[in-house]
Structures are given as C-alpha cells and as structure tokens.
Amino acid sequence: MLIRLVRVLLILVIAVFAISFIVGIATPETGAVEKVVLAALFVGCVFAATQVTNLASRLQERVPRH
C-alpha cells in the first residue's frame, strides 16, 4: 500500500512539472532554444514517470502479500 502511495505522489509531482513545461513551451515569449530545452525536460519527465512505475511494479512483486 505504501509503495502505491509513493508511486502516485511521485507521478503527480512529475505531472505538475510536465504541465509547467508545456505551459512554458506554449508561451509566446519563449525563445526557440528555451522551447527545445523545455521539450527535452518534458521528455525527461515522461521517462522519469515510466521509471517510477517500473520500479514500483518491481517492488510490489517483491513485497509479500498478507
């Protein structure tokens, strides 16, 4: 149960970062180089979310159920 809670909280934090990066990309004042950096950060957030999910799945398999 604790593993699921931590996973959900981490995914929510990553989602907030990803949304803020998307908003930054959509802002007209953002330059081209900044948009590339924000897009790379967004991809990094997606990758981090997949890693968190994979790690949580592996940990749940190792923890014995009652």
Q: How many CB atoms lie within 10 A of CB 51?
A: 12
Query: Which among 61, 53, 60 has a CA at the least distance from the CA of 15?
Result: 53
Q: What is the pLDDT of residues 7-66, one digit of tens each?
A: 999 999 999 999 999 999 999 999 999 999 999 999 999 999 999 999 999 998 888 776
State the pLDDT at residue 66: 67
Q: Give the count of beta carbons closer than 10 Å to the beta carbon of residue 64.
A: 4
Tokens of 29: 């004042």
Cα-to-chain-centroid distance, residue 61: 22
pLDDT of residue 65: 76
pTM of the complete model: 0.83
